[in-house]
């Protein structure tokens, strides 16, 4: 396949994402006012609870078998390396460039979590369909390609909905802490009137919870007695109380045993996220022949259930992309990400990770750890070159943090992705053949 033909193949999924994003932006604009903030939040909850779990279960149950899981054992390690290395590089970026604290998790997530699903579902099979494809007979190539990509999608989703989910959830807590401090600074304070120290710490974690309650009670009494704008400040106090309540677990001082229980509770809660549960169920059904025969196949007695789940899963990517486009309308105006941060993410995803990926796959191949199928090795390499996972947008919307900044990151990384994937794909094919 020539360079320009490969460019067209790699560009198509990117163009699809951009077209649907533009449609989302138009629907969210003042001209249409269809995809409002509330509408995006409700749609995002449906994506999180229904569409994404359906997509993961449908692909895993159909395409992955126990033999595949055993023979492709290196792929989970490969994707784990991507998350580990990307996360480490993202951590270095935030320590050097110092964005807002609540944006650090989003930057690290953009560097570590890749789009292991829908993008590869278009690019890899398209390589098989080309005349003179180096991967052999078209039919066999397509079957293998869909199996590899489905397994990649499921593994990527599992890592994303555990590791990345935790990052965005932590970012949400930091964002709420920032909002808490910002609102508290606006509340009249009796000590301020008396010339006392009114400095507040940078994070709510540094404020003892019982002390915060005493301050709020005293402030409420003080406002009732002396402040003219009582309704305005009472609304602010209600906001503080709500934010403090949501952050109680991170503010209140816990014993070592209490902290361990809190961490275990968070881990269990994250593992019980609907997409993670669906991935685990998909692995179980795919790896268990008699369970798989109930849903998969022309004569399967419950085939209609699998078809219904697949139909729901097909709605995942359009909905996610529309939401990202809607968030982009505000992100271009109020986003707080500086250009150096966006450039750093692009360098991590399209320069550093692919170079490391080539080295890892070549070394693993020499050591006999990889399948000899060149398509499998190609997929293992291309996993290092893909743009950030679309599900990051779902999480930022779910936790109401950094939606605008996330949309800006996606806009620039996906614009660069078409050329980056094309250039690296050409190099990978030259390396393998």
Model confidence at 411, pLDDT cuts 50, 70, 90, reads confident
Is a pLDDT exceeding 80 seen at residue 312?
Answer: yes
Please give the pLDDT value at position 398.
84
Please state, in angstroms and rounded to a whole number, the distance separating the CA atoms of residues 240 and 256.
28
Please give the pLDDT value at position 247.
47
Please state, in angstroms and rounded to a whole number, the distance separating the CA atoms of residues 8 and 2.
10
Mean pLDDT in residue range 254-271: 67
pLDDT in tens, 389-405: 888 988 888 888 888 88
Please state, in angstroms and rounded to a whole number, the distance separating the CA atoms of residues 398 and 51.
14
CA 152, 380, 315 angle in degrees (round to 5)? 30
Identify which of 406, 398, 408 has the alpha carbon closest to the alpha carbon of residue 41.
398
Identify which of 374, 386, 375, 377 has the alpha carbon closest to the alpha carbon of residue 358.
377
- Highest averaged pLDDT of the listed ranges 206-210, 229-233, 358-362: 358-362
Please state, in angstroms and rounded to a whole number, the distance separating the CA atoms of residues 271 and 280.
10
Please state, in angstroms and rounded to a whole number, the distance separating the CA atoms of residues 255 and 258.
5
* Beta carbons of 119 and 387 less than 8 angstroms apart: yes
How many residues are recorded in the chain?
433
pLDDT in tens, 216-256: 555 555 445 555 545 554 455 555 555 455 544 444 444 55
- The whole-chain average pLDDT of the chain stands at 78
Model confidence at 177, pLDDT cuts 50, 70, 90, reads low
Model confidence at 263, pLDDT cuts 50, 70, 90, reads low
Is a pLDDT exceeding 90 seen at residue 93?
Answer: yes
* Beta carbons of 116 and 79 less than 8 angstroms apart: yes
Max intra-chain CA distance, the chain:
83
Please give the pLDDT value at position 381.
94
> pTM for the full model?
0.76
Residue that wins the pLDDT comparison between 277 and 2: 277
Cα–Cα distances in Å, from 319 out to 40, 41, 280, 393? 9, 11, 23, 11
Please give the pLDDT value at position 371.
83
pLDDT in tens, 61-90: 887 778 877 888 899 999 999 999 999 999
List the single range of 33-47, 219-233, 281-295 with lowest mean pLDDT.
Answer: 219-233
CA 372, 375, 379 angle in degrees (round to 5)? 110
Please state, in angstroms and rounded to a whole number, the distance separating the CA atoms of residues 140 and 142.
5
First to last CA, the chain: 12
Please state, in angstroms and rounded to a whole number, the distance separating the CA atoms of residues 407 and 265.
31
The three-state DSSP-derived secondary structure of the chain is CCHHHHHHHHHHHHHHHHHHHHHHHHHHCCCCCCCCHHHHHHHHHHHHHHHHHHHHHHHHHHHCCHHHHHHCCHHHHHHHHHHHHHHHHHHHHHHHHCCCHHHHHHHHHHHHCECCCHHHHHHHHHHHHCCCCCCCCHHHHHHHHHHHHHHHHHHHHHHHHHHHHHHHHHHHHHHHHHHHHHHHHCCCCHHHHCCCCCCCCCCHHHCCHHHHHHHHHHHHHHHHHHCCCHHHHHHHHHHHHHHHHHCHHHHCCCCHHHHHHHHHHHHHHHHCCHHHHHHHHHHHHHHCHHHHHHHCCCCCCCHHHHHHHHHHHCCHHHHHHHHHHHHHHHHHHHCCCCHHHHHHHHHHHHHHHHHHHHHHHHHHHHCCCCCCCHHHHHHHHHCCCCCECCHHHHHHHHHCCCHHHHHHHHHHHHHHHHHHHHHHHHHHHHHHC
Is a pLDDT exceeding 60 seen at residue 184?
Answer: no
Q: Where are the domains of the chain?
A: 184-262
Mean pLDDT in residue range 314-320: 85
């Amino acid at each position: 396949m020539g360079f320009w033909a490969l460019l067209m193949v790699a560009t198509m999924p990117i163009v699809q994402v951009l077209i649907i994003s533009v449609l989302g932006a138009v629907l969210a604009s003042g001209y249409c006012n269809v995809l409002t903030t509330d509408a995006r939040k409700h749609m995002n909850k449906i994506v999180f609870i229904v569409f994404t779990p359906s997509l993961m279960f449908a692909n895993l149950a159909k395409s992955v078998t126990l033999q595949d899981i055993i023979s492709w054992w290196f792929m989970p390690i490969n994707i784990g390396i991507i998350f580990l290395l990307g996360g480490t590089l993202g951590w270095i970026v935030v320590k050097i460039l110092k964005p807002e604290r609540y944006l650090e998790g989003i930057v690290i997530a953009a560097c570590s979590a890749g789009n292991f699903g829908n993008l590869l579902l278009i690019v890899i099979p398209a390589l098989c369909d080309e005349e003179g494809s180096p991967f052999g007979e078209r039919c066999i190539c397509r079957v293998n390609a869909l199996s590899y990509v489905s397994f990649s999608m499921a593994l990527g989703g599992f890592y994303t909905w555990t590791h990345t989910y935790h990052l965005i959830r932590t970012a949400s807590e930091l964002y709420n802490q920032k909002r808490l401090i910002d609102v508290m600074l606006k509340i009249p304070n009796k000590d301020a009137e008396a010339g006392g120290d009114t400095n507040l710490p940078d994070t709510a974690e540094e404020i003892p919870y019982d002390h915060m309650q005493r301050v709020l009670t005293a402030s409420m009494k003080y406002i009732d007695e002396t402040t003219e704008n009582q309704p305005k400040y009472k609304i602010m106090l209600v906001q503080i109380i709500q934010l403090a309540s949501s952050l109680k677990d991170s503010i209140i001082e816990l014993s070592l045993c209490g902290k361990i229980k809190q961490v275990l509770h968070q881990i269990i809660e994250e593992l019980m996220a609907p997409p993670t549960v669906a991935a685990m169920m998909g692995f179980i059904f795919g790896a268990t022949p008699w369970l798989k025969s109930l849903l998969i196949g022309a004569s399967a007695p419950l085939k209609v259930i699998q078809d219904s789940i697949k139909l729901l899963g097909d709605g995942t990517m359009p909905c996610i992309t529309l939401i990202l486009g809607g968030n982009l309308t505000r992100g271009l105006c109020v986003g707080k990400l500086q250009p150096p941060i966006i450039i750093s993410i692009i360098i991590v995803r399209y320069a550093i990770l692919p170079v490391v990926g080539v080295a890892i796959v070549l070394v693993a191949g020499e050591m006999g750890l990889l399948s000899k199928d060149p398509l499998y090795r190609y997929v293992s390499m291309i996993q290092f070159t893909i743009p950030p996972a679309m599900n990051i947008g779902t999480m930022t919307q779910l936790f109401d943090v950094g939606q605008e900044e996330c949309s800006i990151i996606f806009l620039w990384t996906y614009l660069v992705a078409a050329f980056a994937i094309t250039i690296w794909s050409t190099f990978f094919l030259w390396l393998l053949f």
